[in-house]
Amino acid sequence: MYFFQDLFLPPQRSTVAADTDALFGFVHATSFIFLVLIVAAIVGFSIIYRRRSEHDSTPVITHNAKLEITWSVIPFILVMIVFGWGFRGYLNLRTAPPDAYEVRAIGKSWLWEFHYDNGTVSVGELHVPVDRPVKLVMNSTDVIHSFYVPDYRIKRDVLPGRYSSVWFEATETGESIVFCTEYCGTAHSDMMAKVVVHEEEEFNTWLATANVQDSNLPPAELGAELVVRNACATCHSSDGSELQGPTFAGLFGKTETMEDGTTVTVDENYIRSSILRPNEQIVAGYQPVMPPYEGTLNDNQINAIIEYIKTLD
Ligand code: CUA
């Protein structure tokens, strides 16, 4: 089993990972044993019962009750073991422990956003304490996404218009990758985040200071950081290269032509409304795919991003 583990499974970093891997191993081991038995039977029979002369023929066999019961009962038992084991795991994932720490997770094309109980918001990074169950209450603002952390062996669809939830308990500190596993458009493969697992005390410090630390940075520097942290950089480059959205380089002061033919000069107000309600004014040649950042970024953060864009020419 450890051979399997190292060969193709990521490290086990949650309380449910070992059980999930054991089931995975059981399915593989059983399949492998039957593969060997069946191939051996095929080869053996084709040698033993090969045609040796013109008059060599097998009598017609209509049925064999013993054989038929055997090949029905054995697979049935195996399937029921896998079903029972899998169902128990499913129920466990659906039922968060009552003392779980709750975080709201929002999937947007194409980023993950997390809201904590004290009002802190983080994008692209989910911060959690180690050795404590964490329950995510999730929804999407646009299409179906799926929240997947391979290290934790958890995966759950994230839907627009209704909540779904998943829980996990991280067993070690460090970082694990979050993938979106439901195809959700052009930048689906870039829709990643990470889980950052802290010691309890370190987590509390992070939670209390996450949005305060920012005010110590000069606006343009903070803006540069926010652009990465909030996944703006997934679609907007800062060096002039073309991605899903217009580049930030040389953007400020530029005259852009909108879908409806009108022109807009890119100033503070245009950038601000494009961040908060991006789909009201779409630059010609681009798709209306950016998620609104209303409720995600505060005024201070928006100012910082504007200052950062101003520095790029
Ligand atoms: Cu979100 Cu794929």
Same-domain check for residues 204 and 119: yes
Predicted local confidence at residue 120, as pLDDT: 87
Predicted local confidence at residue 31, as pLDDT: 94
Same-domain check for residues 109 and 204: yes
Domain final residue pick, 183, 209, 235: 209
- The CATH number of whichever domain residue 7 belongs to comes to 1.10.287.90
Is 192 near ligand 1, meaning CB less than 6 Å away? no
Domain count, the chain: 3
Residue 151 lies in a domain: yes
Same-domain check for residues 203 and 106: yes
pTM of the model: 0.76
Residue 214 lies in a domain: no
Between CA 190 and CA 271 the distance in angstroms is: 24
Q: Which long-range contacts (C-beta less than 8 Å, at least 24 apart) are formed by 92-96? A: 92/16, 93/16, 93/154, 93/156, 93/166, 93/167, 96/133, 96/135, 96/165, 96/167
Q: Report which of 137, 93, 97 is spatially closest to residue 113, judged by C-alpha positions.
A: 137
Same-domain check for residues 289 and 248: yes
285 CA to centre of ligand 1 in angstroms: 23
Residue 224 lies in a domain: yes
Is 103 near ligand 1, meaning CB less than 6 Å away? no
Predicted local confidence at residue 219, as pLDDT: 87
| Nearest ligand 1 atom to alpha carbon 107 | 1
Is 180 near ligand 1, meaning CB less than 6 Å away? yes
CB 192 within 8 A of CB 179: yes
Q: Where are the beta strands (DSSP E) in 109-252?
A: 111-115, 121-123, 125-129, 133-140, 145-149, 154-158, 164-169, 174-180, 192-198
Same-domain check for residues 204 and 234: no
Same-domain check for residues 155 and 176: yes
With tokens 């980023």, the residue in question is 111
Same-domain check for residues 89 and 124: no
| Nearest ligand 1 atom to alpha carbon 185 | 2
Q: Report which of 313, 312, 301, 311 is spatially closest to residue 123, judged by C-alpha positions.
A: 301
Same-domain check for residues 241 and 201: no
Same-domain check for residues 15 and 83: yes
Predicted local confidence at residue 193, as pLDDT: 94
94 CA to centre of ligand 1 in angstroms: 21
Predicted local confidence at residue 5, as pLDDT: 62
**Close Cβ partners of 71 (under 8 Å, ≥ 6 residues apart):** none
Range of the domain at 243: 219-310
Residue located nearest, by CA, to atom 1 of ligand 1: 145
Predicted local confidence at residue 6, as pLDDT: 66
100 CA to centre of ligand 1 in angstroms: 26
pLDDT tens column, 170-209: 999 999 999 999 999 888 998 999 999 999 999 999 998 8
Same-domain check for residues 43 and 139: no
- The stretches in the chain having pLDDT less than 70 are 1-6, 213
Tally DSSP H helices, then E strands, for the chain: 7, 12
Predicted local confidence at residue 194, as pLDDT: 94
189 CA to centre of ligand 1 in angstroms: 7
Same-domain check for residues 188 and 275: no
Predicted local confidence at residue 3, as pLDDT: 61
Predicted local confidence at residue 131, as pLDDT: 94
187 CA to centre of ligand 1 in angstroms: 8
Same-domain check for residues 105 and 203: yes
